[in-house]
Every structure is written in structure tokens, then in C-alpha cells.
Amino acid sequence: MSFMGMNAATGLRITGREHLAQSVSKILQTPIATRVRRRAFGAKAADMIDTPTNGAAVLQLYAAAATALMLWEPRLRVRSMSVEMDADRPGRVVLNIHGEADTGDRIENVSVATTVSA
């Protein structure tokens, strides 16, 4: 099944990897219980803003992201995750997700990077 959507920034049509990356970012950046008709949508990762970026917080981020993606993004099978700290912007964490994606035509390797706290 091929998903088609709209780019949230430009309004142009997107499909495949672009649509998947946008969906992943939307899931991880949305706090749970903030959508009116979809209270369960989102991830606990969004609630981790202003937490110290230590080993325990990174582990919590991995768990929150994996749980939310398994629930809300059936096209993506997560294989691994890693984080990058931004030296220029303290507190900014970029979560890199690597896995396999069913983007319609075939299953392919995909990497998605999203900022989960600022």
C-alpha cells in the first residue's frame, strides 16, 4: 500500500520516504493526549523536554520512541537507534532511526533523523 500525503511545510504532495520521515517526526514530537480526537496519539518522547541528557534519559527516549513507532507507524520496522547531541545548541537531541520500511513498492532500508527536544 503506497501512502500519499502533504508536506507540512510546503503543501506539496509527498510519498514514500518523505512521507514516512514526516510521519515519524510528527509521532515523536506530539505529546500524548494533545490531539482532540486521537488522545492516545504521540509519544512520551515529547514529554522529555528539559530532562538531563544522561544515559538513563537516552534509554527512556529509545523506549518511548520504539513504543510509539510500533503503535503508530506500521510501515516502519525499527532495527536500531542512536542519538546525537548538538554542540551548538545545548539540550538539542537528534534521534537517528534505522530500519526497514514498507513504502509501497518494496521493503527498503531507511534512516530517519528527528529532533525530539529543544
> What's the helix, strand, coil split of the chain in %, to 5?
30, 30, 35
Which CB contacts under 8 angstroms, 24+ apart, belong to 2-10? 2/103, 2/104, 2/105, 3/75, 3/103, 3/104
Higher pLDDT, 70 or 110: 70
Q: What is the mean pLDDT of the chain?
A: 82
pLDDT per residue over 46-87, tens digit each?
A: 778 777 778 888 899 899 999 999 999 988 888 888 888 877
Grid cell at residue 29: 514530537
Question: What confidence score (pLDDT) does residue 4 get?
Answer: 81
Sketch out the chain's domains with CATH numbers: 4-117 (3.10.450.40)
Question: Does pLDDT of 105 surpass 60?
Answer: no
Q: Which amino acid is at 1?
A: M
